[in-house]
């Protein structure tokens, strides 16, 4: 419901600051409720279907030499789909979630013949990713939101698509060097 309301009355709209604007927004946008409800159902259905397939596949992956990659994938999956993710994930990123999950599925499929390559790519970005996790954890502990951290979070998701499922294409050009450069530009 929160997603439908956000899509209908808040997404790509200026903030509501008074009762008059609130009433006007309701009148102008209420006709879009059903279309946005259908969109929310479509997106959430696609995400949850991918999530279920992936969760099942990950639970069946028991090869010892895959454990580092599997642990990383489970952590990524838990960060993408969690209780309340439809409400807390910005719509701009929510539209990409199914692609991120498909990239995870492709990554898992490739482990059978490229586990060493997977772990090499994981090591390449792991240092920067761990620094990001520390910043993110610090913000969460302090109850703060840092838009820079959120921007980098989604850049890491795109980097994973680039590394592990290039055939799905990234939303924008991304590489570890670009990510490191952006990290510095953001002053982190």
Domain ranges of the chain: 2-185
Name the H helices within the chain. 2-5, 19-29, 33-60, 67-80, 85-88, 91-94, 97-141, 147-164, 176-185
CA 135 to chain centre: 17
From CA 44, how far away is CA 84, in angstroms rounded? 11
39-70 per-position pLDDT tens digit: 999 999 999 999 999 999 999 888 888 999 99
Closest by Cα among 101, 160, 96 to 128: 160
> pLDDT, tens digit, for every residue of 10-46?
888 888 898 998 898 899 888 998 998 999 999 999 9
- φ, ψ for residue 145, nearest 5 deg: -115, 130
Q: Identify the band that residue 5 occupies on the pLDDT scale cut at 50, 70 and 90.
A: confident
Q: How far is residue 84 from each of residues 2, 87, 89, measured CA to CA in Å? A: 10, 5, 8
- pLDDT (average), residues 99-104: 96
What pLDDT, on the 0 to 100 scale, is given for residue 129?
93
Kindly calculate the radius of gyration of the chain based on its CA atoms and give it in whole angstroms: 19
pLDDT score of 167: 95
Nearest to 80 by CA among 69, 95, 66: 95
CA distance 132 to 75: 14
What's the token pair of residue 79? 């960060």
Residue 149 makes CB contacts below 8 A (sequence gap 6+) with 132, 135, 136, 139, 188
């Amino acid at each position: 419901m929160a997603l439908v309301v956000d899509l209908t009355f808040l997404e790509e709209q200026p903030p509501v600051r008074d009762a008059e604007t609130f009433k006007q927004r309701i009148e102008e946008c209420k006709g879009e409720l059903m279309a946005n409800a259908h969109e929310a159902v479509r997106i959430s259905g696609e995400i949850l279907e991918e999530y279920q397939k992936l969760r099942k596949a990950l639970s069946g992956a028991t090869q010892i030499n895959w454990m580092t990659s599997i642990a990383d994938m489970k952590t990524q999956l838990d960060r993408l789909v969690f209780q309340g993710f439809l409400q807390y994930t910005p719509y701009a990123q929510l539209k990409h979630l199914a692609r991120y999950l498909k990239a995870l599925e492709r990554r898992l499929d490739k482990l059978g013949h490229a586990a060493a390559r997977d772990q090499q790519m994981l090591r390449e970005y792991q240092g920067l990713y761990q620094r990001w996790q520390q910043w993110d954890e610090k913000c969460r502990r302090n109850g703060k939101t840092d838009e820079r951290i959120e921007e980098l979070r989604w850049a890491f998701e795109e980097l994973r698509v680039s590394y592990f499922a290039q055939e799905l294409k990234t939303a924008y050009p991304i590489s570890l060097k670009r990510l490191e450069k952006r990290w510095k530009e953001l002053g982190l």
